[in-house]
């Protein structure tokens, strides 16, 4: 058990901030910037705020005209079709949209993963139809140095793969969001924290439990920017060890 350095409250396991006072406790020597949503210090290599869970780096989160956004998406899609490396796509984007001050490398890597993830789902479902199977399952695997969220929510977990028609698209707190994956499932407007952080006018922080419909879920092609988790076909009878990997 550990305690908050600032207020002494018991620290909840797996969380990098105190649920009582909001103190962010990541061991880092420098903060490059602050979370735009809650003001918590952010490490430059983090793709989401450890306190309020806001994700940074998804192109869909960026405040740019939808026409420009579509052109960017189109360029990335064409790049993937031409088998271009994400870094090459990033440099093409930089040369076309240089006046937009974006981290093109992060955007290209993230969006390429989304496109490839969506195509992978299509192939899995085609395979299901050809083989006349009635379900498709996949096992999630995270890199050894993956973030705590991915290790808890993706690594070693088995998910059902379904088509968009079967997905609870309009029921954002449906339990299938925890157990099923589908094409187009994204974490837009969802947060990587079980808590909601509110800042009052006198800068005090209030922490409340976050409703299910606002909590990020596992999905193909990266649950958050720079997520490198992957999914492999899972068959009944496969045994998964305590380390989250299939036992040979």
Residues that bind Zn ion (CB under 5 A): 4, 6-7, 9, 18, 20-21, 23, 35, 37-38, 40, 49, 51-52, 150, 227, 229
Residue number, 72 or 234, with CB nearest to Zn ion: 234
Residue number, 21 or 240, with CB nearest to Zn ion: 21
Written in H, E and C, the secondary structure of 64-121 is CCHHHHHHHHHHHHHHHHCCCCHHHHHHHHHHHCCCCCCCHHHHHHHHHHHHHHHHHH
Residue number, 51 or 180, with CB nearest to Zn ion: 51
Residue number, 52 or 107, with CB nearest to Zn ion: 52
Q: DSSP of the chain, one letter per residue?
A: --B-TTT-PBPPTT-SB-TTT--B----S---EE-TTT--EE-TT-SB-TTT--B---GGGS---HHHHHHHHHHHHHHHHTT--HHHHHHHHHHHSTTS---HHHHHHHHHHHHHHHHHHHHHHHHHHHTT-S--EEEEE--TT--HHHHHHTTT-EEEEE-GGGS-TT-TT-THHHHEEETT---TT-BSSSEEEEE-TTS-EEEEEPPGGGB----TT-SSTT---EEEEE-TT--B-TTSSBP-
Minimum CB–partner distance for residue 26 and Zn ion (Å)? 12
Minimum CB–partner distance for residue 166 and Zn ion (Å)? 24
Minimum CB–partner distance for residue 71 and Zn ion (Å)? 28
Minimum CB–partner distance for residue 198 and Zn ion (Å)? 11
Residue number, 70 or 245, with CB nearest to Zn ion: 245
Residue number, 104 or 192, with CB nearest to Zn ion: 192
Q: Do 138 and 181 contact (CB within 8 A), yes or no?
A: yes
Minimum CB–partner distance for residue 9 and Zn ion (Å)? 5
Residue number, 72 or 142, with CB nearest to Zn ion: 142
Minimum CB–partner distance for residue 120 and Zn ion (Å)? 15
φ and ψ of 169, to 5 deg: -60, -35
Minimum CB–partner distance for residue 146 and Zn ion (Å)? 5
């Amino acid at each position: 058990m550990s305690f908050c350095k600032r207020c002494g409250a018991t620290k909840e396991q797996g969380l990098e901030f105190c649920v009582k006072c909001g103190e962010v406790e990541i061991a880092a020597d420098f903060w490059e910037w602050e979370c735009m949503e809650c003001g918590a210090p952010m490490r430059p290599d983090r793709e989401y705020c450890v306190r309020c869970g806001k994700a940074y780096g998804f192109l869909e989160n960026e405040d740019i005209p939808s026409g420009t956004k579509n052109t960017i998406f189109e360029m990335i899609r064409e790049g993937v079709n031409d088998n271009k490396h994400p870094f090459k796509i990033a440099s093409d984007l930089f040369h076309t949209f240089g006046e937009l001050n974006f981290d093109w490398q992060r955007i290209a890597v993230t969006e390429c993963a989304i496109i490839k993830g969506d195509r992978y789902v299509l192939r899995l479902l085609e395979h299901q139809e050809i083989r006349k199977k009635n379900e498709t399952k996949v096992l999630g695997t995270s890199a050894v140095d993956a973030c705590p969220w991915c290790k808890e929510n993706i690594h070693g977990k088995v998910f059902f793969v379904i088509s968009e028609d079967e997905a609870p698209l309009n029921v954002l707190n449906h339990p299938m969001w925890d157990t099923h994956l589908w094409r187009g499932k994204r974490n837009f407007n969802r947060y990587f924290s079980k808590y909601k952080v509110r800042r009052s006018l006198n800068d005090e922080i209030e922490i409340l439990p976050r409703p299910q419909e606002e909590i990020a879920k596992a999905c193909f092609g990266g649950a958050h920017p720079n997520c490198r988790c992957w999914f492999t076909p899972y068959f009944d009878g496969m045994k998964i060890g305590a380390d989250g990997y299939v036992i040979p």
